[in-house]
Each structure stands twice: as C-alpha cells, then as structure tokens.
Chain A
Amino acid sequence: MNCEKYQDLLSDFVDGSLPQTDQDSIETHLSVCGDCAEARNDLEAIVGFCREHRGEYDPVPNERALWLRISNTIESELSAPSPASIPPGAGWWFRLMNRSWELSFPQLAAAVTAIIIVVSVVTTVGLRRFSFSGAGSGVQTSGAPLALNGSSVQDRFRQQQQVVAYWNQRVELNKARWNPQMRETFDRNMSVIDAAVNDSMSRLTQNPHDEVSEEILNAALNDKVELLKEFADL
C-alpha cells in the first residue's frame, strides 16, 4: 500500500472503525512516514475541534438542498468565464483573446476553406509578380515594362534579384562537381547577361523612364534565371 491509500483510510483510522489488521498496518506506516503522520495530525485536530464544539451550531434545515446549491454554483463557475476576468473597460483584442470559441462543423469547414482560398490567391499573386515569362514561344522576349503594377524598377529588380539569389545558391552547391570547361562556359555566358543587366540598370539610373532599358533589363533578368535553372541541376 502506498501513502495515497493510507491517507484514504486515515478518516476511518481516526474514527477507529477499521479492522484491527488495517489499524496495525497504518500505525506501522505512520511511525515511519512523516507526511502521512502530519495528515493524521491535521485530521485529528479537525475531528477534535468538531467534537468539542458539537451542539454550538443549528443544523441546516434542508441539508440536501444546500449541497445542491453549492454544487450548482461550483459547476456554473467552472463552465462560464468569470465576468470578473474581463474588466469592463477591456479592449476588443483582450475580449477576443479571452473568449471561448465553439464552432460547429459547417462553421469550421467554412473557416478552413476561406483560409485555403486566401492563401492560394496570395501565393498566385506572389508567383505572378516574380515571373516575367514571355509569350510562351520558343524565344523569351521582353515582358511588361518594369514600372507596371505600381512598383518601381528598383522594387521589381530587388524582387527578381531574390529569385536570382535562390538559383545562384543552388548553382554554387553543384559548381564544385563541374569540370573546368563547364565552369568557364557558365561564367563566360553569365558575364554576358550580367553586362546587359548592369548596362540597363545604369541607363535607368540616369533616365528612370527609359522603356528600352526596362525591356532589356526585364529580358536579361529572365535569361539569367533560365541559365541558372539549367545549370542548377547539373
């Protein structure tokens, strides 16, 4: 028997209503277990106090009704949030975060669907902003001018540079495996495209409305990504 079992029997032990074998067993345990002995002392003090003051209080007229009221009060406090927990002047965020949410299955399904749609739309828009693809023909031609969609040339350039950086990273991972000839070929061709990018950027710095440079920049960045993609898998 462990301490929990002994403490369950303590009340009967204090009353002396246990069989002699159990009484002896608990006595032995109490002599060696400080925690249980302390629990026994507390219980004896309570029982002693009650015995000493017996008859000083009037009995409750309807004891069962009283216990039911107590039980109901405890249950209602457990299930409903305490009005005291939300202060009257609390903001909407505080109320939102302290509110208990219970959703039916259709409500839950609708919420999940809405989240999926929003994420899909955001992803599609994001991908479209990154892609500068041509007309789907054999040769990639220049796409829309960079200043379209309300973003500046620099913004678009920065976005495209992120895509370039990603593919560049993948190329760098594989580059060590290439033979020297392939490395030279890649570097030589990349330098041609980089020259076109840099030339366009420098012209656009002088004249931000130079449409020809915008087109060339757009096309050259596309070509750069295409070349990086091709070499990233080698």
Chain B
Amino acid sequence: MNIHPLAKAYRMRTSAILAFLLTLGVPAGASAQQKVSRHFPAGKTVRLELKNLSGTITVETWAREEIKITATMEAPTARFNPRQTDVGLVIDVVSDNRGRNDVGDINFKVQVPARSSVDLETRRGQITVSNIQGDLVRAHISTEGNIELSGINAARVFASNTIGDIYFDGEFASGGTYEFKSGRGVITLRIPANCGFRLVATAPAEKISMGQFWHKGMRLLGDGRKITGDVGDGRASVTVTNYQGNINFLRR
C-alpha cells in the first residue's frame, strides 16, 4: 500500500510526540511516590515505636540483628526521621510533619528481629504484624483500618480501632494481658486449644461465639451481651470489646 508522503510524515511526527510524552510521563508517575529504605543496627531484643498519620504498617521478622525500614511516601513533602534510643527505634511521623498540611499516606514495611516489641499507631490504615515473639505488641488505629496479628507470642497484646476487623492468631502466655477493642468490625481470635485465660468479652449489638472454648462454668450477662469466665487455668487476662460487631474464638 502506498502511503502519501505527507501522511507518512504526519504519522512519524505523531509517534515521536507520543514517545516523548511517554518518556516524560513514566518518570513523572514514578517520582510521585518516594521510596526510602534505611537500616539500623539492633540487638536480639529491640523495641520499635512507630506513630504514623495515615497509611499501612507492616511489621515482619527476620533472622538479622538489625531493623530495616522501607517507607513509601505518597507526598514528596512528607518526612520521617527515625531516632535510635537505648532500647530501639522511634519513628514519629506526626511530630516530624507537624505544620505540613497534606502529608498523604506513608506506607511502612519494617523488618525486625523476632524477639522485638512493637508499639504501632496510626490514624488510618491497616496494621499487619507477623511472627513477633517479644514482650509487647500494640496496634492502635484511631479511626479505620484492619488489624492483623499473626504468629504472635507476646506477653502483652493490645489491638484497637474504631472501624475495621481485628484478627489475632497466636498464643496467650500464662500471666499475659490481651486486650482487643473495636467500634465496628469483626474480632477473631485464633488460639491453641490448650490456652488458659480469664475472659471478659462484651458485644452489646452482635454475637459472641466461643466455639470450642465455651463451657458451662462461663457466665452470660445482659442476655448474652457479655461473657465472663475462665478457660483452662485462667492465668492470662483477655478482654474483648466490640460495640457493633461479632467476637469469634477459633481453635487452632
């Protein structure tokens, strides 16, 4: 097929413009999100405190004695300045960005030694913690976001949000304290059958499902809106509150 020279020139010019736009567009899209990675030396036991404004927080464990922080920042103006302390690492995005208006989401992925304690807070966004074997796991979302804690073996676990599900898969250590609280969502606790704990579970609007952990010695209060009682040796203290959602106990 013969192509008119003018049409050929027009097509070539269009292709060149498209190629130019693509060359400009790809880096522009990539540079909108800033990704930062930093490593910090740590001992076997370390405490991580992370206070985020908005965005996800994912904490995983690894075999190294160091902490790796990877942050993906939506806004180029967002800042975070990790501060090393005697016991670990503190990241306070709220303080670091005081006075800046739209910081946007900052998504954190943190890798820590398994025997770490983690204290995580965000205003909005999911928190995921896995395989922590330290003293403390605290996950607090002041508004909305799911909390997923899996493979946890810590003496103190606190998880709370206003809107969102809370999932805990771990063990209740003897003498430990475990508190879970949601405004609206489903709270699911998946624990081994041999866990011993003293339970106070309150769900005024929905159902409390004890599954195989139910026994006749437990007390039902307020038409079943609250359940108290010991499971096993009752050595751990477990408090679960859900204003507008179910509470489910599952056996591992």
B123 touches A230 (CB 8 A): yes
Q: Is the interface of B mostly helix, strand, loop or mixed?
A: strand
Q: Specify which chain A residues have a CB less than 8 angstroms from the CB of B158 in the assembled complex.
A: 137-139
Closest B residue to A226 using CB positions: B142
**In whole Å, how far is A141's beta carbon from the nearest beta carbon of chain B?**
5
In the bound complex, what is the Cα–Cα distance between A43 and B119 (angstroms)?
96
Taking a contact as CB atoms under 8 Å apart, the answer to whether A188 and B144 are in contact is yes
Binds B, one of A31-39, A68-76, A216-224: A216-224
8 A-B contact pairs sorted by A residue (CB < 8 Å): A138-B156, A139-B159, A141-B179, A211-B222, A215-B202, A216-B202, A227-B142, A227-B162
**CB <8 Å contact, A185 and B143:** yes
Q: Which residues of chain A are within 8 angstroms of B102 by Cβ–Cβ distance?
A: 179
A212 CA to B102 CA in the complex, in Å? 41
Distance between B161 CB and nearest chain A CB, rounded to angstroms? 9
Instruction: A193-B162, A212-B225 given; name 6 further pairs at CB < 8 Å.
Output: A185-B143, A185-B144, A192-B184, A196-B204, A196-B205, A213-B222
- A binding-site residues for B, Cβ under 8 Å: 137-142, 179, 185-186, 188-189, 192-193, 195-196, 199-200, 203, 210-213, 215-216, 219-220, 223, 226-227, 230
Interface residue B116 (Cβ < 8 Å from any Cβ of A): no
Residues on B with C-beta less than 8 A from A137 are 156, 158, 177, 179
Question: B95 → chain A, closest Cβ, in Å?
Answer: 12
Q: Which of B180, B181, B222 contacts A210 (CB 8 A)?
A: B222
Residues on A with C-beta less than 8 A from B243 are 192-193, 195-196, 216, 220
B190 interfacial by beta-carbon distance below 8 Å:
no
Measured CB to CB, the closest approach of chain B to A130, in angstroms, equals 21
Q: Is B124 an interface residue (CB 8 A)?
A: yes
A189 to B142, CA, bound (A): 9
Given A185-B143, A210-B222, CB of A139 within 8 Å of CB of B180:
yes
CB distance from B140 to the nearest CB of A (A): 7
Whether A192 lies near B244 (C-beta < 8 A) is yes
Residues from chain A with Cβ under 8 Å of B159 in the complex:
139
| Interface flags, B222-240, vs A, CB<8A=1, else 0 | 1001100000000000010
Contacts of A195 in B (CB 8 A): 243-244
Whether B140 and A138, one on each chain, are in contact in the complex, defined by CB atoms closer than 8 angstroms, is: yes
* Residue from B142, B183, B226 in contact with A196 in the complex, judged by beta carbons closer than 8 Å: B183
Closest residue of A by beta carbon distance from B226? A212
Question: Chain B contacts of A192 at CB under 8 A?
Answer: 162-163, 183-184, 243-244
Given A188-B163, A189-B163: A223 in contact with B183 (beta carbons within 8 A): yes
A179, A196, A203, A227, most chain B CB atoms within 10 A: A196
Asked whether B241 lies within 8 Å of A141 as measured between CB atoms, the reply is: yes
Q: How far is the CA of A213 from the CA of B143 in the complex (A)?
A: 23
Residue B52 interfacial (CB < 8 Å): no
Closest 4 pairs (CB-CB, A-B): A138-B158, A212-B222, A196-B243, A139-B179
